[in-house]
Amino acid sequence: MILLLWLSFISIILSNIIMMLSMIISKKSIKDREKCSPFECGFDPKSFSRSPFSLHFFLITIIFLIFDVEIALIFPMIYTFKMTNLFFWIKTSFFFIIMLLLGLYHEWNQNMLNWTN
């Protein structure tokens, strides 16, 4: 038991010594300009920090996220095809596909799918 305590004490001391040596030997300075500046998705933070972004890209991202979740919901339907009642499976699949098509029609009707406005 005492041997285990000594070994853990020695390993903690040794690891702290190695960490202190690496901080002392390191070439990087604490006042590095790139480290101190915030990262703002490619925009230069020294200029106007509230640059407007395209709302269209945000809407495309939301549409992609919705269709990605829909694909994740369709995969289990394929897996359960042989395990469930055929009439119930067709009814739920048809309802799900109709809901997807209604959502697509709504997005198309609102001109969310057009790149040029």
Q: What is the pLDDT of residues 54-94, one digit of tens each?
A: 777 777 788 788 878 888 888 888 888 888 888 988 898 89
Q: What is the dihedral of CA 107, 103, 72, 116, to 10 degrees?
A: -10
DSSP code of residue 31: T
Given a cut of 60, is residue 7 above it in pLDDT?
Answer: yes
The pair of three-digit structure tokens given for residue 21, joined into one six-digit string: 């040596």
Q: Which residues contact 77 (CB under 8 A, 6 or more apart)?
A: 89, 92, 93, 96
Higher pLDDT, 114 or 16: 16
Classify burial at 6, counting beta carbons within 10 Å of its beta carbon; exposed 0-12, middle 13-18, buried 19 or more.
exposed
Q: Domain residues for 108?
A: 54-117
Count of domains in the chain?
1
| Residue 89 falls inside a structural domain | yes
**How confident is the model at residue 59, as a pLDDT?**
76
User: What is the number of other CB atoms lying within 10 angstroms of the CB of residue 106?
Assistant: 10
| Residue 113 falls inside a structural domain | yes
Given a cut of 90, is residue 11 above it in pLDDT?
Answer: yes
